[in-house]
Amino acid sequence: MNFNKLFSDATSEVVAILDRSLEGRELSEEQGAALLRAEGADLYALMRVADRARRDDTGDDISFVINRNMNFTNVCYVGCSFCGFARHKDDSDAYDHPMEVLIEKARGAIARGATEVCIQGGIHPNKDHTHYREILIALKREFPDLHIHAFSPEEIDFGHSKSGMELAAYLGWLVDAGLGTMPGTAAEILDDEIRKIVSPRKLKRDRWIEIVKTAHSIGLPSTSTLMYGHIERVEHVAAHLALLREIQKETGGFTEFVPLGFIHERNVLFNHMGARSGSSMPEDVRLVSVARLFLRPWITNIQVSWVKMGPKLSQMGLMAGANDFGGTLMEESISRESGSQFGENLPQEDMRRLIREIGRTPVERNTTYEILRRFDDPERDPPSLESERPVNLSGPTRWRLREERRASVPAVS
């Protein structure tokens, strides 16, 4: 389809790339980088074409999952410069939840309709591989039908290093205990030069790839993510997307792609290391659109992160190539502790309202994108619960105390 007439103000380079995508031809890294620079008429054309591609790929449904985040500990010594969540074990607000707390959190989530719990935590120096399995066993014993989406590649790397097992055997050991899918977080930007700055003690690019591919090889799916809006360039983003696409061609194990904007207010990367103050609105929408065109037909579920973007900008992303609203979350600590102002919980009633507002049909899915319920009739929607959503009151005092602790940590070179 030729878009020259529809977008007469767009540059010929961008129009040619968009035509190529809708013809089903794969985009190169250079073409992806060109789209990631799109502005003005080029950006409008990109958004329009990505929305058309979304309709062709996934239709007009917008999916969401009813889930709960559970961070079992905030004690972490990895020291990522973009993180405002981590604590040292002697900090006054450090926590390490016992199993009873996790079970009660899961029980409450199920009472609110959750089909999934998403479990991640800090890398606690006093834990080992058995702790991860114990969490799975405890939850599955109480809630055998609950899907457990848990443990980033960083946590897998830590547990595996303690286990003495082969990686595939260790992952299988967790799956046997109840692990259903794995978050594709800890990816940030899959470029070791960037990682040396933003997360120097975190697993390296090739180790992330090894863990993800091994998980997929034993039938353990994962999400895929990218963190942007800090020190990266568009070439880094395009290379990251290309790497995810190549992994998906090989394994087919990614369920979705989730772009994650950098939250800047309360972390070292922005306050002391010169990172940008997060992403702009055009950058957020542009990345959603580029992901749709660059990753198709290999990854067709593109998710907006309402925690990072906010509900209204998420609506824009859903009109520019995304097809999934993500999860209700119920509690969310990691983005909130870095300064996100969009709360911890987006009830499914509000998700349905936000989806209706852009003329699309809400559907509830499970973690692996099987549709559980369709909501075709808006007259049957329950009232919005927006007024009941908790307000984020995290203030400057906690940030000041964390800064004092950070000052005692050796600077990252």
Give 164-200 as a DSSP string. Answer: -S-HHHHHHHHHHHTEEEB---S-SSS-HHHHHHH-T
> What is the pLDDT at residue 269?
66
Phi-psi region of 310 (alpha: psi -120 to 50; beta: other; left: phi over 0): left
Angstrom distance (rounded) from CA 366 to CA 63: 9
Confidence of residue 378 (pLDDT cuts 50, 70, 90): confident
User: What's the gap between Cα 171 and its chain centre?
Assistant: 21
Confidence of residue 400 (pLDDT cuts 50, 70, 90): very low
> What is the pLDDT at residue 268?
58
Is the pLDDT reported for residue 391 higher than 60? Answer: no
> What is the pLDDT at residue 88?
79
> What is the pLDDT at residue 5?
57
257: enclosing H helix or E strand: strand 254-261
How many CB atoms neighbour CB 37 within 10 A? Answer: 11
Pick the range with the lowest mean pLDDT from 118-127, 173-182, 224-233, 270-279: 270-279
Q: What is the pLDDT of residues 323-358, one digit of tens each?
A: 999 999 987 444 444 333 445 689 999 999 999 999
> What is the pLDDT at residue 401?
40
Q: What is the pLDDT of residues 187-212, one digit of tens each?
A: 999 999 999 998 888 999 999 999 99
Angstrom distance (rounded) from CA 93 to CA 401: 10
Confidence of residue 402 (pLDDT cuts 50, 70, 90): very low
SS3 call for 322? coil
Q: What is the pLDDT of residues 208-259, one digit of tens each?
A: 999 999 999 999 999 999 999 998 999 999 999 999 999 999 999 999 999 9
Mean pLDDT of 281-309: 96
- Start-to-end CA span in the chain (Å): 49
> What is the pLDDT at residue 20?
94
**Domain annotation for the chain: domains and CATH numbers:** 26-406 (3.20.20.70)
SS3 call for 307? helix
* High-pLDDT (> 90) share of the chain, %: 75
Question: Which of the two residues, 252 and 385, has the higher pLDDT score?
Answer: 252
Confidence of residue 133 (pLDDT cuts 50, 70, 90): very high
Question: Which of the two residues, 17 and 394, has the higher pLDDT score?
Answer: 17
Phi then psi for residue 372, to 5 deg, are -95, -40
pLDDT, mean over the chain: 87
Pick the range with the lowest mean pLDDT from 8-17, 157-166, 278-287, 399-408: 399-408
> Helices 12-22 & 281-295, crossing angle to 10 degrees?
40
> What is the pLDDT at residue 102?
96
Mean pLDDT of 73-89: 78
Angle formed at CA 216 by CA 213 and CA 221, multiple of 5 degrees: 125
Confidence of residue 321 (pLDDT cuts 50, 70, 90): very high
